[in-house]
Amino acid sequence: MKSSMDFEVQVVESSIVTPSEPAPRKGLWLSSLDLWQANHGHTPTIYLYRSSSDVAAADHFFDVAKLKEAMARALVAFYPLAGRLGINDNDGRMEISCNGEGALFVVAQAHDLTVEDVKKFKPSPELRRLFVPLIEPLSIILAVQVTFLKCGGVVLGTALHHAAVDALSAFHFFQTWSAFSKHGDHATVELPCHDRDLLRARSPPTIHPDALLMFYPKHTFSDLSGPLAIEVLTISRDQVASLKHLCGGGTSTFCAVSALMWQCTCIARRLSPDSEARLTFPADLRQRMRPSLPSCYIGNAMFWLGITSVVGDIATEVLGSVAGRIRGAIDQMDDELVRSAIDYFEMAEMDNQPPRGTLPQTVLHITSWLGRPQYDADFGWGKPELMSRAESHCGGFVNLMNNDDGAGSGGVRLLMCMEAVNIKEIERLLYAKLALAACY
């Protein structure tokens, strides 16, 4: 198969979709957690749909007019996504100008690509170039691209600015949009909560003395000392079950898989046993605050937790012990830690430069979308066969995703962006340990 660099996509149409009803026009204040994520820019993802001749003939597979009408309806409730990023005139703080200007909607054709071709691509700048719309101006918050493949399938490429939403908020929007497309007036949707004052810093901001031992404010990136490589690995449902059994009763999939990944990475990188290794990961605070944040809250409701341990311990401990360290950090995330983190970021100087390069080899960052409604985006023609990030460009990052394959097969998909010299050894160790886990 040719590489993604050898393919081209032809843009057929580019338009703006505005809310179908008048929406509030105002400046939407952004919390310190929103501003902290702003330099990450737009998060690129793809949804891959396979058409059957029966479905396509019966109801115009991915009818563009139907999709636009449904998006216009969804943007009534999600009106900030139809706005533009701007600066408040009074305090110079970034905000969302809720002006109803709309979302970018691109229609394209890929005459040489099939669903099977797209499934073989790894997250990369080229994959993003093909299927995620080029956003200009950058103040646009939401952009989508519907690309029709030669086999009749469709790639839905999406880009949502991280200052506006986190992953759970983004999935809520796509659930709503797809529900309006599939069910029309009969759609049942959960209205979003836009009250970002719920995450306003205390006055005066107060940081608990122990808070900085728990949450990890920012990453330090360095220039590449060698090439990076991207690998996509899968762990089957049975392998996940064996791994969780090995780690002990009640261990979550996230803790078990993260423990496995951290241990394999420490060994493969041949770190000094006496050095300190750090694992960081985003933690959702919606249920950790008192009172808890509404589950339908739209915005960034997460920050990074961090665990630091001696490399020798992580490399040699039983996996259950490593998973217990991760679980322990999550269990300590309470209302005071959340408030301290919000207060910290309110006072901290924000980094306006997008993250580029690689993390130190002593640091591993794992982002989990496990348990998120990745595949709840049925626009009326079936659920996606694949949902994935379109690009991963920072070394030392791993994404954990549901591996449903559109048919509920379960399991976990790992998207790794690692130093090329170590990535194959990480893969070898991971599958070797999974094989051992199956023997217990």
- Residues annotated as part of the active site: 162, 378
How, if at all, do strands 276-284 and 228-235 pair? unpaired
Phi, psi of 183, rounded to the nearest 5 degrees: -110, -10
- The strand pairing partners of 87, in sequence order, are 94
Place of tokens 């396509």: 56
Give Cβ neighbours of residue 33 (< 8 Å, ≥ 6 apart): 199, 299, 300, 301, 302, 303, 341, 342, 345
Phi, psi of 422, rounded to the nearest 5 degrees: -110, -15
25 CB-contact burial (10 Å; exposed 0-12 / middle 13-18 / buried 19+):
exposed
Report the alpha-carbon distance of residue 137 to residue 160 in Å, rounded: 13
- Helix, strand or coil for residue 103? strand
Report the alpha-carbon distance of residue 353 to residue 224 in Å, rounded: 17
- Helix, strand or coil for residue 82? helix
Closest C-alpha to 191, from 179, 182, 205: 179
Closest C-alpha to 347, from 163, 196, 195, 203: 203
Report the alpha-carbon distance of residue 380 to residue 67 in Å, rounded: 10
Query: What's the one-letter identity of residue 247?
Result: C
Alpha helix segments (H runs only) across 248-403: 253-268, 311-316, 319-331, 335-347
Cis previous bond, 137, omega within 30: yes
- Helix, strand or coil for residue 84? strand
